[in-house]
Amino acid sequence: MDGPADRPDSEANRTFYNTEREGDRVRFEVRPEKLRSVELIVPWIVSHLRPGDRVLDIAGGSGTYASRIVRELPVTVVGLDIAESMVRQRAEDPMLPDNVVGDMEALPFPDESFDAVMLIAALHHVPDPRPALREAWRVLRPGGQLFSSDPSSLRARKTGVLPIEGEPHEFRLWVPWLAEQMRELGFSVESVAGRELTMRFVERVVASPSPRLWRAADGLDRALRLVPRLERLGMRGLVHARKPVTAT
């Protein structure tokens, strides 16, 4: 049986990010949805970390989130990505010196070597997130934290994951299902949050929402989140989990 690096989805991811994402960080500087993503993800992660933490950024691309995090808090972020282009771009940041090419399902790190793991927009690139989650568990120290964020697809509610026709490097993922997989693997899931509920519907009628519209939608979301279970329908899902201190 082929290993994770030999699967069609792995090769598709490697090829896509090596050929289509040169200058990847520019997207996070000009595209409203990417700007909003940074504004959402970075404070969320920073609020849970401690100075001196060692963090692994799995499938972290060109390192946009990591670059912001290390400038907000004195932590070390090690980057891993399947695409050489992404790792090369990470290394351009002098505050991100530790980066390796590798697969999220076969991490080249010792057991219990990190205080936290980031899987940001990563798990919707594999047909089954559980092997990557097992590897995250392995490299986390007892008490270590897991931060996961992915698009949450309503179409995948029944099965958890669905392939996308014509997109071999992406899959539809239902984030509440993903949180359940974490629990089954032994993680203590501390929060499951849905975000961008309003934008799920706005993007159907507005091709390129402006930064002002994204901010307005975020304000409406704060009110909608007061409705029980409505938050689960958010376009983006955030999961914060922890490896129990008593884990063996």
Instruction: Give how far Cα 131 sits from Cα of 3, 173, 206, 224, Å.
Output: 11, 15, 37, 34
Question: For position 66, what pLDDT does the model report?
Answer: 97
Count of CA atoms in the C-beta half-sphere (13 A) of 156:
23
User: Residues 1-24: pLDDT tens digits?
Assistant: 345 656 778 888 788 788 767 667
- Would you say domain 4-196+230-242 falls under CATH 3.40.50.150? yes
| Inter-axis angle of helices 211-224 and 32-46, nearest 10 | 50
**pLDDT beneath 70: ranges in the chain:** 1-6, 20, 22-23, 25, 30, 247-248
Report the side by side order of strands in the sheet with 54-58.
99-101, 76-81, 54-58, 114-120, 140-151, 236-242, 188-195
Question: For position 236, what pLDDT does the model report?
Answer: 94
Question: For position 247, what pLDDT does the model report?
Answer: 53
Question: For position 216, what pLDDT does the model report?
Answer: 86
Tokens for 76, please give them.
Answer: 């070390």
Question: For position 231, what pLDDT does the model report?
Answer: 83
Instruction: For the chain, list the strands marked E by DSSP.
Output: 54-58, 76-81, 99-101, 114-120, 140-151, 161-163, 171-173, 188-195, 236-242
Residue length of the chain: 248
Q: What is the 3-state secondary structure (H, E, C) of 178-199?
A: HHHHHHHCCCEEEEEEEECHHH
Bridge pairing between strands 76-81 and 54-58: parallel
48/43 Cα distance (integer angstroms)? 9
131/119 Cα distance (integer angstroms)? 13
Question: For position 4, what pLDDT does the model report?
Answer: 67
- φ/ψ of residue 225, rounded to 5: -70, -15
118/58 Cα distance (integer angstroms)? 6
Question: For position 196, what pLDDT does the model report?
Answer: 87
Under 8 Å between Cβ of 174 and 153: yes
